[in-house]
């Protein structure tokens, strides 16, 4: 690759073990449910999440969108975080595909205040839409990979139960959250009815997510997945990598978290650059270049010329991501390079 790529954990390549597994994968037509490797992956993720069933999707976005479509009816309202991936980064799919409107809740360090969630639940009234879903995200991407505490999730799930409103968890990085909390992923997923688990971020699979939930929900979701063109055929060829992702790669994420902390500490030492170390919990860090007078685009340009990739915007704060292909020596190299180039 050449570059030290800190743009995202989505840039990870499949490992050799994944490529071997893909080569050898037994496959079949998954629309007929004939693909033994997909079936194995779905059973594995359902078990890992403590749910009855699961559905392999092409992406995290597809898993979230299919979840919203399955849980809701057009004209409903859903409660979700104003910085959530579903609201911010999914091209307004929930409006276009599911036809729902949003009741937004601001997050603090990735967590919605349960009291505010409760207040957003619509009363039964002829004027109001039905509140038919609550969404959470853990770890929270735009909060720099911060983990939503289990007691917050529990409280929000209880609010959902009280009003018979299901809770969907965007658990794209649920294994990062589980690693931070030192619990099994199932302990997090117990506070939601459905969960999206991404295989192609820090877990290194090339493609795919899995949506888990009750058997009845997954049956209906399977139809929506077909509707959006996600009924894939001999897709065991990629599910095979997903099995390695879940069985193996989910167990090594502490290393990425340690490297993120190392990177955060190193960058925080540089004049004009700051990282709130208290908020560094997993593999994403938010770095503020405000004190250097540079914005994210300017920093990104200088770094690219020096072999480092980041995603910069016009804001001074930039997200950095560590992953399997970022080693401690990459981190040290990145810190030294950044220290040099921002002064040029
Ligand atoms: N996030 C990507 C970008 O879309 C921003 C990234 O680089 O972090 N949920 C969460 C919490 C995510 O972070 C992402 C991807 C998704 C869902 C969507 O997954 P994909 O990219 O597979 O559709």
Give the pLDDT of residue 2.
84
> Do the bridges between strand 308-309 and strand 4-5 make them parallel or antiparallel, or are there none, so unpaired?
parallel
Check pocket membership of 37 for ligand 1, CB cut-off 6 A.
no
Distance 186 CA to ligand 1 centre (A): 21
Give the pLDDT of residue 132.
98
Distance 62 CA to ligand 1 centre (A): 10
CA dihedral 72→170→26→35, nearest 10 degrees, is -10
340 Cα distance to chain centroid: 33
Extents of the domains making up the chain: 14-249, 252-341
Give the whole-angstrom CA distance, residue 70 versus residue 171. Answer: 17
| Lookup result for tokens 């509140």 | 131
Check pocket membership of 141 for ligand 1, CB cut-off 6 A.
yes
Distance 60 CA to ligand 1 centre (A): 6
Ligand 1, atom 4: nearest CA belongs to which residue? 89
Give the pLDDT of residue 210.
98
Contact (CB, 8 A) for 185 and 143: no
Check pocket membership of 9 for ligand 1, CB cut-off 6 A.
no
Distance 90 CA to ligand 1 centre (A): 9
Check pocket membership of 142 for ligand 1, CB cut-off 6 A.
no
User: What tens-digit pLDDT sequence spans the chain (344 residues)?
Assistant: 589 999 999 999 999 999 999 999 999 999 999 999 999 999 999 999 999 999 999 999 999 999 999 999 999 999 999 999 999 999 999 999 999 999 999 999 999 999 999 999 999 999 999 999 999 999 999 999 999 999 999 999 999 999 999 999 999 999 999 999 999 999 999 999 999 999 999 999 999 999 999 999 999 999 999 999 999 999 999 999 999 999 999 999 999 999 999 999 999 999 999 999 999 999 999 999 999 999 999 999 999 999 999 999 999 999 999 999 999 999 999 999 999 999 88
Check pocket membership of 140 for ligand 1, CB cut-off 6 A.
no
Contact (CB, 8 A) for 43 and 31: no
Fold of the domain spanning 252-341: 3.90.1150
Check pocket membership of 49 for ligand 1, CB cut-off 6 A.
no
Ligand 1 nearest atom to the CA of residue 89, by list position: 4
The closest of 85, 80, 69 to 103, measured between CA atoms, is 80
Check pocket membership of 10 for ligand 1, CB cut-off 6 A.
yes
CA distance to 10, 241, 243, 249, 273, per residue, from 14 (Å): 11, 7, 12, 11, 33
For the domain bounded by 14-249, which CATH number is listed? 3.40.640.10
Ligand 1 nearest atom to the CA of residue 311, by list position: 7
Ligand 1, atom 5: nearest CA belongs to which residue? 89
> Do the bridges between strand 131-137 and strand 77-81 make them parallel or antiparallel, or are there none, so unpaired?
parallel
| Lookup result for tokens 């601001």 | 106
Check pocket membership of 85 for ligand 1, CB cut-off 6 A.
yes
Give the whole-angstrom CA distance, residue 344 versus residue 140. Answer: 34
Give the whole-angstrom CA distance, residue 334 versus residue 287. Answer: 13
Say what the pTM is: 0.98
Check pocket membership of 15 for ligand 1, CB cut-off 6 A.
no
Give the pLDDT of residue 1.
52
Give the whole-angstrom CA distance, residue 286 versus residue 55. Answer: 33
Distance 214 CA to ligand 1 centre (A): 24
Contact (CB, 8 A) for 196 and 64: yes
Check pocket membership of 3 for ligand 1, CB cut-off 6 A.
no
The closest of 254, 307, 261 to 144, measured between CA atoms, is 261
Give the whole-angstrom CA distance, residue 229 versus residue 280. Answer: 38
């Amino acid at each position: 690759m050449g570059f030290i790529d800190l743009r995202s954990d989505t840039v990870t390549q499949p490992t050799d073990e994944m490529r071997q597994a893909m080569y050898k994968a037994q496959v079949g037509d998954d629309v007929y449910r004939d693909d033994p490797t997909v079936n194995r992956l779905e059973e594995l993720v359902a078990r890992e999440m403590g749910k009855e069933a699961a559905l392999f999707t092409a992406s995290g976005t597809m898993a979230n969108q299919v979840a919203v479509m399955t849980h809701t009816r057009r004209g409903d309202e859903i409660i979700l975080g104003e910085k959530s991936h579903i609201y911010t980064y999914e091209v307004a799919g929930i409006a276009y595909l599911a036809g729902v409107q949003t009741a937004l809740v601001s997050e603090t360090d990735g967590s919605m205040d349960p009291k505010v969630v409760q207040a957003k639940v619509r009363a039964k009234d002829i004027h109001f839409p039905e509140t038919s879903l609550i969404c959470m995200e853990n770890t929270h991407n735009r909060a720099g990979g911060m983990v939503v505490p289990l007691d917050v999730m529990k409280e929000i799930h209880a609010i959902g139960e009280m009003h018979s409103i299901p809770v969907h968890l965007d658990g794209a990085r649920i294994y990062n959250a589980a690693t931070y909390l030192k619990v099994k992923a199932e302990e997090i997923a117990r506070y939601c009815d459905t969960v999206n688990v991404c295989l192609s971020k820090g877990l290194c699979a090339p493609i795919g997510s899995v949506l888990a939930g009750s058997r009845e929900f997954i049956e209906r979701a399977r139809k929506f997945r077909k509707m959006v063109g996600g009924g894939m055929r001999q897709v065991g060829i990629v599910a095979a990598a997903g099995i390695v992702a879940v069985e193996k790669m989910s167990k090594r994420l502490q290393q990425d978290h340690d490297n993120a902390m190392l990177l955060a500490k190193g960058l925080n030492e540089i004049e004009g650059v700051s990282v709130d170390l208290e908020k560094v919990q997993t593999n994403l860090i938010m770095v503020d270049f405000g004190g250097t007078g540079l914005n994210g685009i300017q920093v990104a340009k200088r770094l690219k010329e020096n072999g480092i990739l980041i995603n910069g915007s016009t804001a001074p704060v930039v997200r950095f991501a560590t992953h399997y292909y970022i080693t401690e020596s990459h981190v040290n190299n990145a810190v030294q390079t950044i220290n040099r180039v921002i002064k040029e």
